[in-house]
Amino acid sequence: MEVRPSQLEGKGKPPAPPAQGKASKIIGEQHISLDPLKSATTVKGKGKAPPPPTKGKGKSNALPLPTEGVGKHSPCAVVGETTILKPQAAEVLRTMGELQLADGSWALGDNGCLNVLLGVKASEIEAVLKELTLPKLNGTQVWLLVIATSLARQAIERCATIIVAEADASDGLGQRERRAKALRIAEESSVKGADVLKAAEQWLASAWHSASAESGCVLEQQRVRLEQKLSTMLDRSLPRPDWKRSLAARKSMRIVCQACGTEFSGALAECPSCSPPELKQGDKNQMPGAPQPLTLQRLKSGDLLRHWQTFSAAPLDPKALRWQGAKGLMHLGGGSGGVTLLHLEEGVICLKPARANSVAEFFAAHLADFLVIRVAKSRMVSMADDVFMYIRQAIRTSPSDIEEHRDIARRVHGNSEFVWMLEFVPGLSVQGLEVHNRLHSLSPALIREFWVAVGQLIALDALINNVDRIPLLWDNEGNTANLMLLARADDDATLCVVGIDQAVTAIVDRGPGRGQYLDRLGTLARAVFSGSWEHDSSTPATIHAWSVSAALERVQEAFRVNCAVEVDRQALMEGLHSGLLRIAQRWADGSLQEVLSAAVTSATKVFACATVDIGMHQLSTMEDFVGITATAIAKSYDDFAKAHID
């Protein structure tokens, strides 16, 4: 669909409203007010301003596109020949709420106040419409309405994020409370009230569904790309906050509690002395006037997760699953955006949006499967697949016991071009009191089996340099939450340890990094194959050197801190030995080299339609790096075998 704004020049009477299906552009100096009820576009020196749009009438007529710039009196920044508005986040929220129509949509505005406010030019909208090759529909204004509504929805969410990032840490509120407070600015000025975002999403879902039905085309790919392009446009006028800088600023701030005088970090939402964890989950709910909803919501999430753990896992066959029959949705937070759980007729499936390291995760999954080391099974679905549309629709419309979970899931999946389908592991992450109690209830044989499985996962981590799990080769605190324990309380005979969130972290052959890592890996492999790790401490290392004994102490400390259990070092190293031996043997017979080549070919095919960086440029580096680490492991075993024979 091509939009051709007519150009009206000259003086005299103000231009007449455009005909249905047309867009107009006014050439001349303009003055745009941030208040949409006062905003007007006037040709300099002549004519009256057109009346503002009637709020809340639910009209579906798309209105003309704005001009390229705004007048010199508007709050804006000038970049070259282009004038870009730089509005305040709170003002945008209020204005977006005021401009929302009764059906939940937005129009571009007869005076261009919506997209001028957001710094989006008419030419950009025209270019997007041409590039996406959207089908022609009977309603010629549909795509302009879709663009306006998508822009407004993204702007509201972006502004809420900006306000949260810039909030004063001394306000005593958590991020969730700050976000809710920010969104209330739009809600209070919108005809839809608290449903300002929900109504917009419902309108968009209906519009895209109708467009697909009318055109006979699957349009989910165009929708993802449209959302991406609009997000990029918003980056100019509403740049994303720098979360690292914001968090660093909060951590550096010290706050003194007015009630007890305790000084605490600005990164905390409230005084740890007045609001300890045990008070939050117990007596605090009984305090008169206490803000209960968020505490109750947190407890409800825990109870809900325990209930979901009783469900079975759905198969990883996207075309065999009945996405339209989703019975529930739950979102679990995490460092990379978390994971969305969908309860389908066939069981529970986990969904995770593809990020910048998706290729590294894909590569790691291939290697784990080949080496028969247990990690959560996965499958990638791209926006080029027909089922992608049904997955996105399920995320948008599935019922949820906690309403905000669906909102979070929709934001997290946002404009992702790929979605991971992950195996649902109905177990416990190896972190916290619950898994501590479960481990202590296991028989000695199962405890040993647990540590052997952990050791095998360390072997995989060593091969791919997966830094975020067990801190054996790495100078960090580890993240034992990336281990899942499957051990039912009513079954004392079986146990399974499953790795999650593993990825290849390739070290380039520049600088000392790769050499230092290979030195550690070789030292570890030789100690494991020879059994020398048991008396490694007899030759203490220098303060900066790495040693197996010091690394095992770091592993022990990680498990003590995260779940208060003692490591069975003998069983752990037994599992590590079996994992490293398998790697050495597969490298020696050439099968591991074949798998590396196949992984590259498969990744190239799966991610062929990617338009954003998800790690494809590092694919050859990953193949090279894993080949070098496998060679180091195989050489260590060969050296041990030769020495043993001699």
pLDDT 10s digits, 314-340: 999 988 999 988 999 999 877 666 899
For residues 129 and 155, membership in a common domain is answered with yes
Please give the Cα distance from 62 to 20 (Å, whole number): 8
70 vs 482, residue with greater confidence: 482
For residues 369 and 444, membership in a common domain is answered with no
For residues 352 and 498, membership in a common domain is answered with no
Q: Identify whether 293 is part of a domain.
A: no
Q: Are 89 and 155 in contact (CB under 8 A)?
A: no
Look at residue 422 in the predicted model and tell me its pLDDT.
94
CATH number at residue 630: 1.10.1070.11
| Predicted confidence (pLDDT) per residue in 59-87, tens digit | 433 333 333 333 333 333 333 334 444 67
What confidence category does residue 26 fall into, taking pLDDT thresholds of 50, 70 and 90?
very low
The CA distances from residue 611 to 135, 363, 378, 414, 506, in Å, are 21, 19, 22, 15, 22
Does 292 score more than 50 pLDDT? no
Structural domain of 553? 429-645
Please give the Cα distance from 239 to 86 (Å, whole number): 10
For residues 40 and 118, membership in a common domain is answered with yes
For residues 495 and 471, membership in a common domain is answered with yes
For residues 24 and 114, membership in a common domain is answered with yes
Q: Are 596 and 464 in contact (CB under 8 A)?
A: no
Number of domains in the chain: 3
Does 260 score more than 90 pLDDT? no
Task: Evaluate if pTM is beyond 0.75.
Answer: no
Q: Identify whether 488 is part of a domain.
A: yes
| Predicted confidence (pLDDT) per residue in 163-213, tens digit | 887 877 666 676 778 888 999 999 999 999 999 998 998 899 889 888 988
Mean pLDDT (whole number) for 399-404: 82
Neighbours of 2 (CB within 10 A): 7
254 vs 210, residue with greater confidence: 210
Q: Identify whether 300 is part of a domain.
A: no
Look at residue 411 in the predicted model and tell me its pLDDT.
80
406 vs 105, residue with greater confidence: 105
Structure tokens at 263: 């000084």
Look at residue 129 in the predicted model and tell me its pLDDT.
85
Please give the Cα distance from 349 to 341 (Å, whole number): 6
Q: Are 99 and 53 in contact (CB under 8 A)?
A: yes
Q: Are 105 and 145 in contact (CB under 8 A)?
A: yes
SS (H, E, C) 570-612: HHHHHHHHHHHHHHHHHHHCCHHHHHHHHHHHHHHHHCCCCCC
Q: Identify whether 249 is part of a domain.
A: no
Q: Of the residues 424, 451, 466, which one is the last residue of a structural domain?
A: 424
Q: Identify whether 482 is part of a domain.
A: yes
For residues 615 and 477, membership in a common domain is answered with yes
Please give the Cα distance from 18 to 522 (Å, whole number): 74
Beta pairing, strands 6-8 & 24-26 = parallel
What confidence category does residue 29 fall into, taking pLDDT thresholds of 50, 70 and 90?
very low
Q: Are 478 and 558 in contact (CB under 8 A)?
A: yes
SS (H, E, C) 107-165: CCCCCCHHHHHCCCCHHHHHHHHHHCCCCCCCCCCHHHHHHHHHHHHHHHHHHHHHHHH
Does 1 score more than 60 pLDDT? no
Mean pLDDT (whole number) for 471-497: 83
For residues 64 and 144, membership in a common domain is answered with yes
Look at residue 262 in the predicted model and tell me its pLDDT.
74
Q: Identify whether 590 is part of a domain.
A: yes
Q: Of the residues 424, 454, 482, which one is the last residue of a structural domain?
A: 424
For residues 388 and 526, membership in a common domain is answered with no
Q: Identify whether 230 is part of a domain.
A: yes
Q: Identify whether 302 is part of a domain.
A: no
For residues 45 and 157, membership in a common domain is answered with yes
Q: Of the residues 424, 459, 492, which one is the last residue of a structural domain?
A: 424
For residues 410 and 438, membership in a common domain is answered with no
Share of residues in the chain with pLDDT > 90 (%): 40
For residues 499 and 555, membership in a common domain is answered with yes
CATH number at residue 339: 3.30.1010.10
